[in-house]
Structure 1
Amino acid sequence: MKLLLIEDNEELLKSISDYLTHEKNICEVAGTFDSAREKLALYTYDCIILDLMLPDGNGLNLLKLIRKEGIESSVIIISAKDSLDFKLAGLDEGADDYIIKPFHLPELYSRIKAVMRRKNHNTSSLLEFREITVDLLSMEVTVNTTKLNLTKKETYLIIYFINNENRVVTRQAIASHLWGDYTDNLDNFDFVYQHVKNLRKKITDAGGEDYISTVYGLGYKFNS
């Protein structure tokens, strides 16, 4: 899963990020209302972990903005405010769950997985593009009836391409989607080329078409 953690306590933010990254998730972080809003405008996330008390804004207002703009990410509020009124306000504004600080990290991760299971149960778990099918629950990719042996990054990459059909996506955008904030200080994104090359080969070796075209000087485009 790709997660956005919005929390101004740097120590807690690092603890949550380290734990969830260790559990094989992609984590991006934001410590302020404005930085969170910027990331939400640029990238998509499976689940957002949202603190209510931010130094430059109210988390509830950010939640209202998320739902108003049609962002489909699941949202779990984390807050030290444990009154019923705050819980109801968060849930009424569209949060999927509300967890009180302090909490154990395994409990938070269990809540995230439970929210995602409910979401996937209510929607199709299959992402399909012509002969390519991705099962979003098992994370298996098939071309016609042939199962591809993809790495986790290659699986995320084909999902990203299908979800951005006919759009030019930059190498930086791909790197940020697959590796999160760890790409901020990189000098180049040449490693993206190798992942795209490997994905292309595995699809075509299984009898699929190569829908990925290189847009020189910019990045790639997944063509329909």
Structure 2
Amino acid sequence: MKILVIEDEPDLLAAIKTSLEKEAYIVESAGDFASASEKLGIYTYDCILLDIMLPGGSGLDLLASLKEADKSENVIIVSAKDSLDDKINGLGLGADDYLTKPFHLAELTARVKAVLRRKQLGGKNSVDVNNVSLLVEERQVMVDDVPMSLNRKEFDLLHYFLLNKSRLITRESLAEHVWGDNIDQADNFDFIYYQIKNLRKKLQAAAAEVEIQAVYGVGYKLITP
């Protein structure tokens, strides 16, 4: 899961980033209106933590742009402004939640998990395809109720594939989702090939009733043969 934190207070930004990374999320950041607008125009995120008062502009304007682009889901406004009008405007523009500073990082993490669970899993804590069950918060995969051992990247890859069952996923979007925006600096995508090769072997060894199929020259697709 990839999260963008838009926050201009460096100490708070660092604390939020560290807290979310401990939960195994990929966390990108933006400290002002311009950089946030650029990232939102290029990349797609599973959740956005959005401050209202930013150098160079208002977070509500960013939210309005997201709504126009039909991308305003999974936004949590995090702001020192405890104005009823701001809350109403933010929620009206598509934000899912509103958290007023100061707050406990544990509460923020809980709200992020709730938003992701509500939007992607229909309120459930697992993604289930045939005999494979991926428990999101526990970061555990079960095949016929038997635990399957995966490293962090293999888990993230399988999670993304299960959420996008039967859909073609390009190597570029897969790399960006699992490895973050700095994937732009990679010379090639060989590392994806090796991670998926290992994941395939583990799924086969566990007799999982899902298969990751290569689409030559484009990417991959999870199928249920």
- Count of aligned pairs: 216
Percent identity, please: 38
CA contact (8 A) 1:97 1:115 kept: no
Q: C-alpha offsets along residues 147-179 of structure 1, whole Å, 9 cap, x if unaligned?
A: 211112211111111222233222222221112
Structure 1 residues 38, 213: CA separation in 2 closer, same or farther (over 3 Å shift)? same
| Helix, strand or coil at the partner of 1:200 | helix
Paired residue type of 1:166:
S
Tell me the residue number matched to 2:189: 189
1:25, distance to aligned residue in structure 2 (A): 2.2
| Helix, strand or coil at the partner of 2:180 | helix
Structure 2: runs of 5+ lacking an equivalent: none
1:53, distance to aligned residue in structure 2 (A): 3.9
Q: Confirm whether residue 38 of structure 1 aligns to residue 41 of structure 2.
A: yes
- Quote the Cα distance in structure 1 between the aligned partners of 2:193 and 2:136: 24
Paired residue type of 2:113:
M
Paired residue type of 1:152:
R
Give matches, 1:31-180, under 5 Å: 31=32, 32=34, 34-39=37-42, 42-45=43-46, 47-54=47-54, 58-64=58-64, 66=66, 69=70, 72-73=73-74, 75-93=75-93, 94-100=95-101, 103=102, 107-117=104-114, 120=117, 123-180=123-180
CA contact (8 A) 1:87 1:98 kept: no
| Helix, strand or coil at the partner of 1:198 | helix
Q: CA RMSD in A?
A: 3.0
CA contact (8 A) 1:52 1:58 kept: yes
Structure 1 residues 90, 210: CA separation in 2 closer, same or farther (over 3 Å shift)? closer
- Quote the Cα distance in structure 2 between the aligned partners of 1:119 and 1:214: 28
- Quote the Cα distance in structure 1 between the aligned partners of 2:116 and 2:216: 38
CA contact (8 A) 1:126 1:133 kept: yes
| Helix, strand or coil at the partner of 1:184 | helix
Structure 1: runs of 5+ lacking an equivalent: none
CA contact (8 A) 2:126 2:133 kept: yes
Per mean C-alpha deviation after superposition, the further-off stretch among 118-127 and 181-190 is 118-127
| Helix, strand or coil at the partner of 1:43 | coil
- Quote the Cα distance in structure 2 between the aligned partners of 1:115 and 1:210: 29
Structure 1 residues 218, 9: CA separation in 2 closer, same or farther (over 3 Å shift)? farther
Q: TM-score, normalised by structure 2?
A: 0.77
Structure 1 residues 81, 7: CA separation in 2 closer, same or farther (over 3 Å shift)? same
1:209, distance to aligned residue in structure 2 (A): 3.9
Q: TM-score, normalised by structure 1?
A: 0.78
Paired residue type of 2:197:
K
